[in-house]
Chains A and B, each alone.
Chain A
Amino acid sequence: MSFSRRNFLKGTAAGTAGTALTGAVLIGGARADAGTSSAPAVPGSYPFHGARQAGVLTPGPAGKQAYSCFAAFDIITGDRAGLAGLLRELTSRARFLTAGGVPPDLGIGQPPSDSDVLGPDIPADGLTITVSAGASMFDDRYGLAAARPRKLVPMRVFRNDSPDPAWLHGDLLLQLCAHHPDTIHHAIRDITRHTRGAMQLRWKIEGYAAPPRPSGTPRNLLGFKDGTANPRGELAQNLVWVDDPAEPAWARGGSYQVVRLIRMLVEFWDRVSINEQEGMFGRRRGTGAPLDGSSEFDTPDYQADPHGYVIPLDSHIRLANPRTKVTADQRLIRRSYNYDLGVDRNGNLQAGHIFVAYQQDVHRQFETIQERLVNEPLVDYVQPFGGGYFFAFPGVTSSADWYGRGLLT
Chain B
Amino acid sequence: MNWAEAVPNLLIGLREGLEAGLVVSILLAALRKTRTADPAGVHVRSSVPVWLGVLGAVMLAGSFAAVLTFSTSVLSSRAQEAAGGLLSVLAVALVTGMIFWMRRTAATLSKQLRGEVQRAAAIGAGALTITAFLAVGREGLETTLFLWTAAKASGSTLAPLAGAGLGLAAAVVLCSLLYRQAVRLNIGVFFTRTALALIVIAAGVLAYGLGDLQDAGLLSGQRWIAFDVTAHADPGSWWVSLISGVTELAPKMTVLQVVAWIAYLAVVIPLFARAGRTAGAAAAPPAAPAVAAAPSPTGAPPPAAASAQPATAGAAGRAGPGAARWERLIARRPWTVAGVLVLAPVLAAAVTIAALPPASTAAATVVTVTATSCAPHWSAARTGTQTFSVANKSGQAGEVNLVNSGGGVVAEIETIGPATTATMTATLTAGSYVFRCYMGARPVMTSASVQAAGRHVRAGTTAVKPVTVQDLAGPNHAYQAYAAGVLARLARQVTVLEKDLRQRRPGRARTAWLAAQLDWERAGASYDSFGADGLAVDGLPDGLALGVRDPHFTGLHRLEYGLWHGQHPAVLLRASRQLARSVAAVRRHLTSGDLTGDPTNLPIRAHEILEDALRDHLSGIDNEGAGAAYPETYADVQVTRVVLGELAGLITARAPRLVPMARAQLATLQQALLATRSRGQWRAPAATPLVRRQHVDAAIGALLQTLSAVPDLLEVPPAH
Contact = CB atoms under 8 A, between A and B. Distances in A.
Interface of A: 18, 21, 25-33, 35-37, 156-163, 265, 267-268, 270-273, 275-276, 278-279, 284, 286, 289, 291-294, 298, 304-305, 309-311, 344-348, 380, 383
B176 interface: no
B620 A273 contact: no
Contacts of B418: 292, 304, 310
Contacts of A310: 397, 415-418
A293 B420 CA distance: 5
B614 A292 contact: no
Interface of B: 214, 219-224, 254-256, 259-260, 263, 397, 412, 414-418, 420-423, 440, 528, 540, 542-545, 547, 607, 611, 614-615, 618-621, 685, 693-694, 697-698, 701, 704-705, 707-708, 711-712, 715, 720
Nearest to B604: A276
A242 B548 CA distance: 36
Contact of A268 (B221, B414, B416, B615): B615
Contacts of B698: 347
A345 B542 contact: no
A29 B420 contact: no
A314 to B, nearest CB: 13
Contacts of B543: 157-162
A383 B543 CA distance: 10
B410 to A, nearest CB: 14
A318 B353 CA distance: 48
Contact of A294 (B421, B615, B619, B711): B421
Nearest to B545: A157
A271 B397 contact: no
Contacts of B528: 380
Given A267-B701, A304-B418, A345-B685, A33 B220 contact: yes
Contacts of B547: 157, 163
Q: Which 8 A-B pairs have the closest CB atoms?
A: A29-B221, A292-B417, A271-B708, A32-B224, A347-B697, A30-B220, A346-B618, A29-B220
A16 to B, nearest CB: 14
B535 to A, nearest CB: 10
A348 B614 contact: yes
Contacts of A348: 614, 619, 697
B444 to A, nearest CB: 16
Nearest to A14: B267
B697 A33 contact: no
Nearest to B623: A345
Contacts of B220: 26-27, 29-30, 33
A29 B221 CA distance: 3
Contacts of A156: 545
B708 A272 contact: yes
A29 B255 contact: yes
Nearest to A381: B615
Contacts of A291: 415, 417
A309 B222 contact: no
Nearest to A37: B223
Contacts of B711: 273, 276
A28 B214 CA distance: 13
A157 B416 CA distance: 37
B603 to A, nearest CB: 10
A347 B701 contact: yes
Contact of B259 (A25, A162, A163, A271): A25
Contacts, number: 136
Nearest to B440: A309
B254 A309 contact: no
A294 B221 contact: no
A162 B715 CA distance: 31
A343 to B, nearest CB: 10
B415 A279 contact: yes
Given A158-B543, A348-B614, A28 B224 contact: yes
A33 B417 contact: no
B68 to A, nearest CB: 27
Contacts of A380: 528
B422 A294 contact: yes
Nearest to B720: A309
A35 B225 CA distance: 13
Contacts of B259: 21, 25
A293 B708 contact: no
A74 B701 CA distance: 40
Contacts of B545: 156-157
A344 B720 CA distance: 40
Contacts of B222: 29, 33
A21 B708 CA distance: 62
Contact of B221 (A30, A272, A304): A30
A70 B212 CA distance: 47
A26 B219 contact: yes
Contacts of A26: 219-221, 256
Nearest to A158: B543
B614 A273 contact: no
A345 B619 contact: yes
A305 B397 CA distance: 9
Given A28-B255, A156-B545, A344-B619, A275 B715 contact: yes
Contacts of B707: 271
11 contacts: A29-B255, A30-B221, A268-B611, A270-B708, A271-B704, A278-B414, A284-B422, A294-B422, A304-B418, A345-B619, A348-B614
B611 A271 contact: yes
Given A273-B715, A275-B715, A346-B615, 8 more contacts: A21-B263, A29-B223, A29-B255, A33-B220, A160-B543, A162-B543, A163-B547, A267-B704
B713 to A, nearest CB: 10
A304 B395 CA distance: 11
B317 to A, nearest CB: 23
A29 B258 CA distance: 12
Nearest to B214: A29
A278 to B, nearest CB: 8
A162 B542 CA distance: 5
Contacts of B620: 345-346
A285 to B, nearest CB: 12
Given A284-B422, A292-B417, A25 B255 contact: yes
A21 to B, nearest CB: 7
A33 B255 contact: no
Given A273-B715, A305-B397, A345-B618, A29 B421 contact: no
B705 A271 contact: yes
A245 B241 CA distance: 57
A319 to B, nearest CB: 17
Contacts of B416: 310
A273 B219 CA distance: 43
Nearest to B705: A271
A289 B389 CA distance: 14
B95 to A, nearest CB: 20
A265 B256 contact: no
B245 to A, nearest CB: 26
A26 B621 CA distance: 63
A305 B417 contact: yes
Contacts of A163: 542, 547
Contacts of A304: 418
Contacts of A294: 420-422
Nearest to B217: A33
Nearest to B611: A268
Contacts of A268: 611, 614-615
Contacts of A275: 412, 414-415, 715
Nearest to B396: A309
A26 B224 CA distance: 10
A293 B694 CA distance: 45
A346 B414 CA distance: 34
Contacts of B255: 25, 28-29, 32
Nearest to B620: A345
Contacts of A284: 422
Contacts of A31: 224
A277 to B, nearest CB: 11
A310 to B, nearest CB: 4
